[in-house]
């Protein structure tokens, strides 16, 4: 039986730059009971920018918290629940412009939200391309995650790199050295658009930690875009090892 609905929204215009990192820098963030999920032997993290739209929490649309941006840094894990493997994401950093969102998510799910001023742009480049840009202001400096995307959309192919990045339907967070919280994310399979001319500009060491700077300063190994869809996040449950 599905757990009660915690959040419902549309997640749209998802831009992801994916970087290979050393597994050692992810281990302090690894939730107990999970293992790192690799793509062709590579440990990946993703810088993700997208829009929350028509958002409700606990079935309530809170004023001024309905439409907003998010930029996060995440990595990928698997968890065996005794019956099968679940593929999930773990969030290292999540930035939103709404302090209440950060407060609720951090307290209920042990997430890592911070509230900062944010803005975004969606600008047609020509008949075939659109520019998507997400920006957040850290200590007076505007940071950026942006790319130009082909307007043509494609279905995600089974076994593809896009499937590995986008097809995660569980979230995991570390509570203690022996305890983890798990929550389910529901959405349809998204359609993708080809990405070019991407940019990521931020003081990496200050926001994400000095251990990530050598890796996020490199060229990403891939860059993806998805239209997104309606999303439901279910209430979390806890387990111990």
Burial of 47: CB neighbours in 10 Å, binned 0-12, 13-18, 19+: buried
User: What does the pLDDT look like over 73-88, one tens digit per residue?
Assistant: 999 999 999 999 999 9
Q: What percent of the chain has pLDDT over 70?
A: 99
Q: Which of 13, 39, 63, 6 is nearest to 186 (CA)?
A: 6
User: What does the pLDDT look like over 11-67, one tens digit per residue?
Assistant: 999 999 999 999 999 999 999 999 999 999 999 999 999 999 999 988 878 877 899
pLDDT confidence of 104, banded at 50, 70, 90? confident
pTM for the full predicted model: 0.94
59: Cβ–Cβ under 8 A, 6 or more apart, which residues? 5, 8
pLDDT of residue 61: 84
pLDDT of residue 167: 94
pLDDT at 1 over 70: no
* Domain 5-240 of CATH type 2.60.40.10: no
Instruction: Return the H-helix or E-strand segment holding 169.
Output: none
Burial of 127: CB neighbours in 10 Å, binned 0-12, 13-18, 19+: exposed
């Amino acid at each position: 039986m599905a757990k009660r609905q915690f959040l419902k929204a549309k997640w749209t215009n998802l831009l992801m730059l994916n970087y290979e990192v050393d597994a050692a820098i992810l281990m302090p963030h690894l939730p107990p009971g999970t293992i790192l999920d690799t793509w062709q032997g590579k440990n990946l993290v993703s810088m993700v920018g997208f829009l929350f739209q028509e958002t409700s929490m606990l079935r309530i649309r809170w004023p001024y918290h309905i439409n907003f941006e998010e930029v996060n840094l995440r990595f990928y894990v698997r968890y065996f629940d005794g019956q099968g493997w679940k593929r999930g994401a773990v969030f290292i950093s999540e930035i939103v412009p709404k302090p209440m969102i950060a407060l609720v998510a951090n307290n209920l799910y042990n997430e890592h939200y911070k509230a900062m001023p944010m803005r975004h742009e969606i600008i047609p480049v020509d008949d075939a391309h659109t520019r998507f840009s997400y920006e957040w202001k850290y200590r007076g400096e505007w940071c950026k995650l942006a790319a130009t995307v082909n307007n043509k959309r494609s279905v995600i192919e089974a076994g593809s790199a896009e499937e590995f990045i986008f097809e995660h339907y569980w979230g995991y967070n570390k509570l203690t050295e022996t305890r983890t919280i798990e929550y389910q994310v529901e959405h349809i399979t998204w359609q993708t658009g080809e990405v070019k001319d991407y940019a990521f500009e931020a003081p990496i060491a200050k926001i994400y930690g000095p251990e990530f700077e050598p890796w996020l300063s490199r060229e990403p190994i891939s860059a993806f875009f998805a239209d997104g869809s309606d999303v439901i996040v279910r209430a979390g449950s806890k387990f111990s090892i």
